[in-house]
Chain A
Amino acid sequence: GENVEQHPSTLSVQEGDSAVIKCTYSDSASNYFPWYKQELGKRPQLIIDIRSNVGEKKDQRIAVTLNKTAKHFSLHITETQPEDSAVYFCAATYSWGKLQFGAGTQVVVTP
């Protein structure tokens, strides 16, 4: 199966600074890598995703990079705001589209 490792487990940043979360995966057949944001007690919400035929994707303050050779992908949030505080999960597909999630990163943005 797939193994996804995510770091760091917690990340504290000052408002306006950037936040970077890194994930590695094990299955070279994985071809889809979504990132989800989950607030306490709420559903995971897709914030950005990237497919294996692309190395980088950006959506306003959020960007994701993918290095297939090294099997790692990263989430970058610029100009962080207090509302960015949440748990962020990376994931990678395996076995007919199932998702293996990372352990999550608790991001705290302090004003």
Chain B
Amino acid sequence: GAVVSQHPSRVICKSGTSVKIECRSLDFQATTMFWYRQFPKQSLMLMATSNEGSKATYEQGVEKDKFLINHASLTLSTLTVTSAHPEDSSFYICSARGGRERYTDTQYFGPGTRLTVL
């Protein structure tokens, strides 16, 4: 199947620091990766779409200078939360799309990263 990993699984940082989260597709080449944020007891909210070799496109209301996305290869995308503040504390989940299936619109999710900003 399509496996997506995410690292770290949990991070606690001080306010004002930056945190990098990695998302990898392990057994397929991901043409597109997505980054979501999920607050407790809420749904997944799309933050940005990341295509290999091009700039990420951000959803309305998401600050691109605060949430830096780099999609350096077909198997790796990174999200950097810059100058994190307590309100950035959330569950960040990536998904990857693209593979050997006939249809490439299926998104497979990483295990998520729990970010806590003190």
Show the binding face of A for B, using Cβ within 8 Å: 32, 34, 36, 41-46, 49, 51, 89, 93, 96-104
- The smallest C-beta distance from A109 to any residue of chain B, in angstroms, reads 19
List residues of chain A with CB within 8 A of the CB of B99: none
> Would B106 and A34 count as touching, CB distance under 8 A?
yes
**Chain B residues within 8 Å of A, Cβ to Cβ:** 32, 34, 42-46, 49, 91, 93, 97, 103, 105-112, 114
Please state if A98 and B46 are interface contacts (CB–CB under 8 Å): yes
Interface centre among B44, B111, B114 (most CB of A within 10 A): B44
Which residues of A are found within 8 Å of B32, using beta-carbon distances?
97
B106 x A46 contact (CB < 8 A): yes
- Chain A-chain B contacts (Cβ-Cβ < 8 Å), number: 46
Residues A103 and B43 in contact, CB atoms below 8 Å apart: yes
Residues of A within 8 A of B109 (CB): 36, 43-45
A4 → B minimal CB distance (Å)? 9
Tell me if A98 and B49 are in contact (CB < 8 A): yes
Q: A97-B32, A97-B97, A98-B49 are in contact. Are A44 and B106 (CB under 8 A)?
A: no
B55 to chain A, nearest CB (A): 15
Specify which chain B residues have a CB less than 8 angstroms from the CB of A44 in the assembled complex.
44, 93, 109
C-alpha spacing A102/B108, complex, angstroms: 17
Given A43-B110, A43-B111, A97-B32: A32 in contact with B105 (beta carbons within 8 A): yes
Q: How far is the CA of A98 from the CA of B109 in the complex (A)?
A: 13
10 further contact pairs, Cβ within 8 A, besides A96-B49, A97-B32, A99-B34: A32-B103, A42-B112, A43-B109, A43-B111, A44-B109, A46-B107, A51-B103, A93-B105, A97-B105, A102-B43
Q: Which residues of B contact A89 (CB under 8 A)?
A: 43-44
B93 CB contact (under 8 Å) in A43, A51, A96, A97: A43
Roughly how many angstroms separate A29 CA and B34 CA in the complex, as a whole number?
Answer: 20
Give the distance to chain B from A95, nearest Cβ to Cβ, in Å. 9
How distant is the Cα of A96 from the Cα of B112 in the complex, in angstroms?
23
